[in-house]
Structure formats: C-alpha cells, structure tokens
Structure 1
Amino acid sequence: MMTALEKIINTIIYREQALASTQKHLCGHSLLLIINEINLSIVFIFGKNKVKIFHRHNRIADCTLTTTLTTLLKLYNYQEFIKLLHSEKLEVKGDLKIIEVFLATLALDGMEFDLGEHLSPWIGDIIAESISQFVCNRYKLMNYAIKRKKECLSQTIIEELRLSPGSLEMSWLIKEVEECLDILDIFDNRIRLLEIS
C-alpha cells in the first residue's frame, strides 16, 4: 500500500518541470500525517527527485498534521483547509507552509484527481480505469450510506423530541402519580385496620 501511494504522489509532485519551485520548497523537508480514528501515522520525506513514505521515522518531522479520516477527505482545496484549521478539526505543528505547498502541489485546488490516470503507467489503462471506477463507485456508495444514516438519525431525534412530553404534561403526570400513591396509602391503612379488628 505504501509503495503504491509513494508512486502516485511521486507522479503527481514530480510530473512537470513547471513545479520546480514547489519541489524545491518541499525538498529536504518531512511531513508527518497522523489519522486518529484508525491510529495510523504516515511520514512523507521529500527528496530532490522523489518522495519516500514510511510508517515511522526517527527524526522529528518539520510539519505534523493530526486529524481524523473524515476531515482528511475534506482537504480538497486551500479554502477548506483554512476553514478546518480555524475550526480546530486539524492540528498542525511545525512549518505550516509545508502542508500548504503539499496540498497545492497535489493540485487539489482546481483539478479533479483521476486515479486511473496515475495508475495506468504501472498496471495498464484497462485495469487502472476499472480500479478507478470501482473506487469511485465505492466512495459514492459510502457517501450515500453515510448521508442516509445521518438523515435517519436526524429524523429519529426529531420524532423523539416531538413525542417527548412537555413540561405541563410532566407536571400533570407527577401530580396524578402522587394522587395514586395517596390513594394506595389510604387503602393500605384500611387493610391494616381490618386485620387488627
């Protein structure tokens, strides 16, 4: 998995000479990505001609990004990154510029990511397109399932709130229960008197 990810990122970052200034800025730096939900840490070490990806690294990373998987999937453009950063859904330590340049280099700002295009040089066009369509369909299905579950949950909460008794109904119920308890006490006392006599 790490090798495939490494190849894809290398293809994107080092694809054109036009990105030379970006490559130069990333060169020699490291980025640590921590995904809390799945307890995963990935270290990106940017070299002159390629990026290396590891699970762990002995050195302290120049930039550390801590987030959740759902938040990570929202990092499709710089504005979204800034919003998430201000909402404290992302925690960034170290050089913020590294993550900014990395996102910009991955062309998440204006370009749609085509998985098939990046996989085709290694596994062929047909298989790459099949994998791309499979991943895209799975993502859409997962997105739809999450959306439906959110809708069902919100409808259930609304229905429960609608059916829950109001403060007047609750005070009336408490009063009725207290009256029933008083009646039961009276009956209990009468039974005791009958048993004595």
Structure 2
Amino acid sequence: MTIMPLLTAGLETVLNSVLYRDRGLKAARQRLAGRSLSLELQGFSHPLILLFSEQQVDVISAWEDQADCRVRTRISTLSKLRDRQQLSALIRSGELEVDGDLQVIQQFSALIDLAEFDPAEYLAPWLGDVAAHGVGAMLKKNLAFIQRDAARKQRYLSEAITEEWRLAPGALEAAWFAEEVDALDRHLTELEVRLNKLEAK
C-alpha cells in the first residue's frame, strides 16, 4: 500500500478545514471554483492535484485531464506560498516552475495568505475557549523558540565549517578567489592577443 491515498486524504481535510470554514474567504474561493492546480513535488512519484469547487477542494494523485496550472517545486518552498508578495520572486529564482494559467497559483497563494490558521479555533470545541487559547499560545511560543533555535544552530554550523574547521571558504575568501580568477582570465586573454599579433608578423 502506498502512502499517497493517506497523504491526499490528510491534505484534503486540512485544506478544507482551513480554507473552506471561514465565510470571509468566500470571494477568494469563488475565483478558484472550477479550476485545477497540479503540484509536482520533488521526491514524489505522483503529483498532488487540487480540484476547487465552491463547497470544497478535492485532492487527488491521478487525473485524466490536464490541470489548468501545473507547478513544479520542492516541499520546502510550499510554505513560502503563504506570502503572495514572494510569488513572483519564487518564479524568477526558479524555485517555482509554473506552466499554464498563472492566475490559478496567484489566486491559490492569495487564498492561503488570507486564511488564518489559529489552533485555538480548532481546539475550542473540545477544550473550551480559555484552555484552547492557552494551548494555542503555548504552541506559537514553542514554534517560535524552535525556529530561533534552528536558525542559531544553522548559523553556528556555518561558522564552524568556514571559520573553525576550514572545510569551506568564507564569503570574503570566495569573493577574493573569484576576483583573482577573473584577473587571471583577463591576463591570459591579453597574452593570447599578444601571441596572435607576434605570430601574424
């Protein structure tokens, strides 16, 4: 048994609860109604195809028709889609390859950007408002701590690799080396021109 049916069912449930629960997002959802988006993620053998309607989004892994918009990217890039201002930068940098109707991915990005994911809202029916708010605040605080800690460890590792262990050059050393290579290339070109002039005589 493959994991794709489980993944598509889980993603469909999450997207429907986050994007289709809030009535304030109705206008943004209507712009996507009847459209399809294919997400081809590196490392996955099948694409994730999102079929939008006014009531829900269906997520499938196999579809006969061609999607209105096809996006190829990495899993790590998906979180950047929440900021619709970054969309054109992601496309220009090559992190996001888009084929088909660009408006579909733009409208999907806008819908995700407008949606608010508040864990307290989903926990309130089971825990009560006060307890859900406390758990939500604790989750946000812990997530912020984990992100700061991961960034700090990444910085430490980068400094250790370049400064302590000398496994990789630092930014200034790499820039100096590139300038030296360019200068050497210019000198070789000048030398070649001079040799060609001497041979012509």
TM-score bin (small chain): 0.5 to 0.7
Offset at 1:97? 0.7
Residue 114 of structure 1: which of 101, 115, 118 is its match? Answer: 118
Residue 99 of structure 1: which of 99, 105, 109 is its match? Answer: 105
**1:60 and 2:62 aligned:** no
User: C-alpha separation between the residues in 2 aligned to 1:134 and 1:40?
Assistant: 36
Deviations 1:43-71 (A, max 9, x none): 11112311111233232211112211222
TM-score with structure 2 setting the length: 0.61
Q: Which residue of 2 aligns with 1:158?
A: 163
Secondary structure, in 3 states, of the residue corresponding to 1:9?
helix
Offset at 1:99? 1.2
User: C-alpha separation between the residues in 1 aligned to 2:70 and 2:145?
Assistant: 31
User: C-alpha separation between the residues in 2 aligned to 1:12 and 1:79?
Assistant: 21
Structure of greater Rg: 1
Secondary structure, in 3 states, of the residue corresponding to 1:151?
helix
Q: Once structures 1 and 2 are overlaid, which stretch shifts more, 12-21 or 55-64? A: 12-21
Mark the CA change 1:120 to 1:22 in structure 2 (over 3 Å): closer, same or farther: same
Quick one: which amino acid aligns to residue 84 of structure 2?
Y
Structure 1: 5+ residue runs without aligned partners? 165-197
Q: Report the identity percentage.
A: 27
Q: Which residue of 1 aligns with 2:179?
A: none
Deviations 1:132-171 (A, max 9, x none): 6786567446534532342123212133158x9xxxxxxx
Alignment RMSD (CA, Å): 3.4
TM-score with structure 1 setting the length: 0.62
